[in-house]
Amino acid sequence: MKLGWLFRGLRTGVVTTRYPNSLDDELAGIRGIPYIDVTAGHDTACEKTCAQSCLSGALRYDESSRVLELKEEACIMCGLCAKACPHDAVAMSSDVELAVLKQRVRNDVNRLFRRSLHLRHVDAGSCNGCESEIKMLMSPFYDLHRLGIFISTSPRAADGLLITGPVTRAMEAPLRRTYEATADPKLVIATGACASTGGIFAGGSLTHEGAGAVLPVDVTIPGCPPTPIALLHGLLLALGRARQRAGAR
């Protein structure tokens, strides 16, 4: 029977994506962040309409500078702003490679972790969407291990943390203790809108404003949940093996 499985596996052939060398059609049709057409005829009232359509506070209308600002990290990509805009000036893109480098713990991080990076995943109150996508990274389609990145069983053996969820009050202490148990130097990667900024739960009485409110975060990966490609991009960015999208914030 074991042999049966072996042949079954062999017959399937290679299904792994070529990312980051090239992008296949994995992202076909998936909603990314909105793009705001600044040339369309805006007025103050309509920009407020757009901003009010945003639950996570990613779209904000700045009264003083009179611009509509998008904080990509907080965006949950629901598309309500595109529906709300009376001028069709907001459109959803399929752009998901949005990871942002917040700080660089050490300049030699890509030398240290280039060949192998072991991460401990910590669920700090996610909806299980991010977990599902992180698990897909280990599936044959994305095969995280080919990039030298592994999920470690213990924080003691890990080079960093991969955090999901807005950090609930009950998970704050376990998260801090996991961080302390991780060997230095360590990377902290916040996965998804919740871990990046708190998402739609930011500032609740039971939730924090993401991992950054508790720990120093190196990289944030926007998305709700981030697709496997977005996750790969974020992980490679943390290692200095991918570039940040121009203008990302």
Partner 1 sequence: MIARRAAGNRAIVESDGSSFHRVFSEIANTPETRFGDLFATDDREDGGGFSVHAMFSIPTSPGWVEIDVALSDELPGFASLAMTYPALGWYEREIAEQFGIGVEGHPRLRRLTLPANWPRGYYPMRRDRAWNERTPFQEELDEIPALVEAPSGVVDYPLGPVRSGVVESAHYTLRTVGEELLDCALQLFYKHRGVEKRAEGLRLEHALLVAERVSGTSAFNNSLAFVRALEDAAAVEVPARGQWLRTLFGELERIYNHLSAFADLAQATGLAVAQAQFEMLKEKQLRLHGVLTGHRYLFGTNAIGGVACDLSRERIAMVRNGCKALREWLKPLEAMYLSTPSHVDRLLGTGILTPEDARLFGAVGPIARAAGIDRDLRRDHPYAAYGEVDFAVPLETGGDAMARTRVRFAEVHEAIRVVEQVCDGIPGGSTCLAGVRPSPGTTGFGWAESSHGETLSWVAVAANGTLCRYRVRPASFANWQAFAVAVPGHNILTDFPVIEQSFNLSVAEADR
**One residue of 42, 118, 120, 186 binding partner 1 per CB under 8 A:** 120
Residue 227 interacts with partner 1 (CB under 8 A)?
A: yes
> Least distance to partner 1 from the beta carbon of 54, Å?
9
> Least distance to partner 1 from the beta carbon of 137, Å?
9
Which residue stretch of 110-118, 120-128, 213-221, 236-244 sits at the interface with partner 1 (rule: CB under 8 A)?
120-128
**One residue of 18, 29, 65, 184 binding partner 1 per CB under 8 A:** 29
> Least distance to partner 1 from the beta carbon of 152, Å?
8
> Residue 174, preceding bond cis, omega within 30 degrees?
no
Residue 197 interacts with partner 1 (CB under 8 A)?
A: no
Q: By C-beta, is 12 or 39 nearer to partner 1?
A: 12
SS (H, E, C) the chain: CHHHHHHHHHHHCCCCCCCCCCCCHHHCCCCCCEEECCCCCCCHHHHHHHHHCCCCCCEEEECCCCEEEECHHHCCCCCHHHHHCCCCCEEECCCCCCCEECCCCCCCHHHHCCCCEEEEEEECCCCCHHHHHHHHHCCCCCCHHHHCEEECCCHHHCCEEEEECCCEHHHHHHHHHHHHHCCCCCEEEEEHHHHHHCHHHCCCCCECCCHHHCCCCCEEECCCCCCHHHHHHHHHHHCCCCCCCCCCC
Q: By C-beta, is 109 or 119 nearer to partner 1?
A: 119
Residue 171 interacts with partner 1 (CB under 8 A)?
A: yes
> Least distance to partner 1 from the beta carbon of 144, Å?
11
**One residue of 5, 38, 45, 107 binding partner 1 per CB under 8 A:** 5
Q: By C-beta, is 17 or 220 nearer to partner 1?
A: 17
> Least distance to partner 1 from the beta carbon of 155, Å?
7
157: phi then psi, degrees, rounded to nearest 5: -100, 10
Number of residues that bind partner 1 (CB under 8 A): 66
Cα–Cα distances (Å) from 166 to 39, 53, 138, 207, in that order, read 35, 21, 24, 6
Chain centre to alpha carbon of residue 48: 27
Looking at residues 33 to 92 of the shown chain, list those that interact with partner 1 (rule: CB under 8 A): 55, 76-80, 92
Site residues for partner 1 per CB under 8 A: 1-2, 4-6, 8-9, 12, 15, 26-31, 55, 76-80, 92, 120-136, 138-141, 151, 153-155, 165-166, 168-171, 174-175, 178, 200-201, 203-207, 224-225, 227
